[in-house]
Amino acid sequence: MMAVTGWRALLYKETLRFWKVGFQTVGAPVLTALLYLMVFGHVLEDHVKVYGTVGYTAFLVPGLVMMSVLQNAFANSSSSIIQSKIMGNLVFVLLTPLSHWGWFFAYVGSSVIRGLAVGLGVFVVTVLFAQPSFAAPVWILVFALLGSAMLGTLGLIAGLWAEKFDQMAVFQNFLIMPMTFLSGVFYSIGSLPHFWQKVSHLNPFFYMIDGFRYGFFGVSDASPWLSFGIVGTAWLVVSAIAIHLLRIGYKIRG
């Protein structure tokens, strides 16, 4: 009973941590996504049709929503861990009887909440520019949850590995940002040359965004079942790594 109460308390604390500065953690990403939509949508709406009949602005909305979900889920767990390590208050969590499972569910759970909150905010403001369709809403929910959990787990690993903000910036700027931007957010990979289509299929972030987009249009560059299998397997692998690092106290216990 203590363990259950403990991880819920940590989940509440981590959720409250980002919500108290919601203008920065939720409002700013929503504004950024809106600017992307206004600029790219205005320039390309009359020139690009995707999947034959889908307008570019409508195509762009799910990509921006999912990109925001992924980036903010990663930022939540990674920033929390590294800040706690640098400020020295991580010791107060270490003193609790929480198991490594409790840590995992609390940090990843709060990342999922933040990712979904930002994604919902982005969707609400972008829906003013393109009327959405919901061809397969279950897939929308599945990939939103899987994607945010995946990036929340990666953020947890990054936070455990990094010892200063410079190292975290390297992880985010040279891995997370390129992989999200090159995953089909702003384009269909079907429009790419054959070689770059093959390269895109090596990017697991592509399957998160492509599967999420399928939920809106009922059509995508890859089968949603293939995307689900790849993303689900990837999350299980990174979760196993994160839980192992927490169990051994990697860089958080002397």
Contact 33, 128 (CB under 8 A): no
60-88 confidence digits (pLDDT tens): 899 999 999 999 999 999 999 999 988 88
- Alpha-helical runs (H) found in the chain: 2-19, 22, 28-44, 56-87, 90-94, 100-126, 137-161, 165-171, 177-181, 194-200, 204-217, 224-248
Residue 254 counted as domain residue: no
Domain of 147, in residue numbers: 2-248
101-139 confidence digits (pLDDT tens): 999 999 999 999 999 999 999 999 988 888 778 899 999
Angle value at C-alpha 162, between 159 and 167, nearest 5 degrees = 120
217-237 confidence digits (pLDDT tens): 998 889 999 999 999 999 999
Residue 95 counted as domain residue: yes
Is residue 4 over pLDDT 60? no
d(C-alpha 249, C-alpha 100), whole Å: 9
Is residue 45 over pLDDT 80? no
Q: Where residue 1 falls among pLDDT bands split at 50, 70, 90?
A: very low
Residue 253 counted as domain residue: no
Residues 6+ apart with CB under 8 A from 124: none
Query: Residues 80-97: what's their mean pLDDT?
Result: 87
Residue 99 counted as domain residue: yes
Residue 243 counted as domain residue: yes
Residue 24 counted as domain residue: yes
d(C-alpha 37, C-alpha 67), whole Å: 12
Looking at the 3D structure of the chain, how many domains does it have?
Answer: 1
Residue 94 counted as domain residue: yes
Q: Where residue 58 falls among pLDDT bands split at 50, 70, 90?
A: confident
Residue 16 counted as domain residue: yes
d(C-alpha 196, C-alpha 148), whole Å: 26
